[in-house]
């Protein structure tokens, strides 16, 4: 009797995590999750084009990881194309993209005007569309690779007053699922991580110690994530350890979205 099951051999798992000889475009590399991800990619052996809209931040992180800096607002097609052209001129080929770009405009629906609505979707979804449309072609030509985004648990949950931001993240999640299926036959895997609260520089400026304690009380692990704890799953999705994954959204939230907000009167019974 014969089967279609291939012979099993133990893979070199740590080698699958390595990105030696791979060239990555990192969008939003300047600080927070982007900065941590630049170090993660570089430590795994990748060469990184460090893209940030602030020239000083792009230069600083590129120097730290021996990468190439590129400063531009890549929510426009022209600048996104220039970023990938720079990657090709610097490295020859592109094997992967990690896109960290995103910002939340938090206000009630009634306070959004048309311009801010467009801005919110541009800063969450438009650059993702451009990154895939331009980047996936280059990755396919290089023999395949990965594109990885940062979504948000807000994309799958109702978090007042985040209706517009959450809608843009929900759109990003669905875009990832669709692009993952569409580009799979060409060897380009598209995935995302979906973080909850993360101690990024931007949020640290907004939230004080008391607010962070309150956040921690809502998370089973007892605290918000660090940028490095999001960069780890991003590295996993960028590597061959995730070789059979595409169109997937990995939640990184310390277990918070598993909770149902019951009133505090519902408590566990005491022993005895």
Cα separation, 253 vs 237, in Å, equals 17
What is the side-by-side order of every strand in the sheet holding 188-195? 68-71, 47-52, 23-27, 96-99, 145-150, 188-195, 249-252
183 classed as catalytic: no
Cα separation, 246 vs 226, in Å, equals 25
Helix 127-141, helix 163-183: angle, nearest 10: 20
| From 8, 13, 105, 165, active-site residue | 165
Q: Which residues contact 259 (CB under 8 A, 6 or more apart)?
A: 218, 220
Report residue 158 as tokens.
């109702």
Give the pairing of strands 145-150 and 23-27. Answer: unpaired
Cα separation, 86 vs 105, in Å, equals 31
Written as one string, the DSSP assignment of 9-43 is ----HHHHH--TT-EEEEET-SSHHHHHHHHHHHH
User: What positions carry a catalytic annotation?
Assistant: 165
């Amino acid at each position: 009797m014969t089967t279609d099951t291939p012979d099993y051999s133990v893979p070199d798992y740590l080698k699958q995590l390595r990105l030696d000889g791979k060239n990555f475009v990192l969008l939003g590399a300047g600080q927070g999750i982007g900065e941590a991800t630049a170090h993660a990619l570089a430590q795994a052996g990748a060469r990184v084009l460090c893209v940030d809209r602030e020239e000083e931040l792009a230069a600083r992180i590129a120097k730290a990881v021996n990468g190439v800096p590129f400063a531009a607002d890549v929510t426009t097609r022209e600048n996104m194309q220039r970023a990938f052209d720079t990657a090709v001129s610097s490295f020859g080929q592109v094997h992967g993209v990690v896109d960290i770009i995103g910002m939340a405009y938090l206000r009630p629906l009634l306070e959004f005007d048309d311009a801010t609505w467009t801005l919110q979707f541009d800063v969450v979804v438009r650059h993702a569309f451009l990154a895939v449309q331009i980047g996936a072609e280059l990755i396919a030509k290089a023999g395949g690779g990965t594109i990885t985004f940062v979504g948000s648990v807000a994309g799958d949950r109702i978090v007042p007053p985040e209706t517009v931001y959450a809608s843009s993240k929900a759109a990003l999640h669905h875009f990832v699922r669709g692009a993952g299926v569409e580009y799979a036959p060409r060897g380009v895997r598209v995935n995302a991580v979906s973080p909850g609260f993360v101690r990024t520089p931007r949020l640290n400026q907004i939230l004080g110690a008391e607010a962070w304690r309150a956040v921690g009380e809502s998370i089973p692990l007892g605290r918000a994530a660090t940028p490095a704890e999001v960069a780890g799953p991003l590295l996993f999705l960028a590597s061959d350890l995730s070789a059979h994954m595409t169109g997937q959204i990995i939640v990184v939230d310390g277990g918070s979205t598993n909770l149902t907000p019951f009133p505090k009167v519902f408590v566990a019974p005491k022993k005895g």
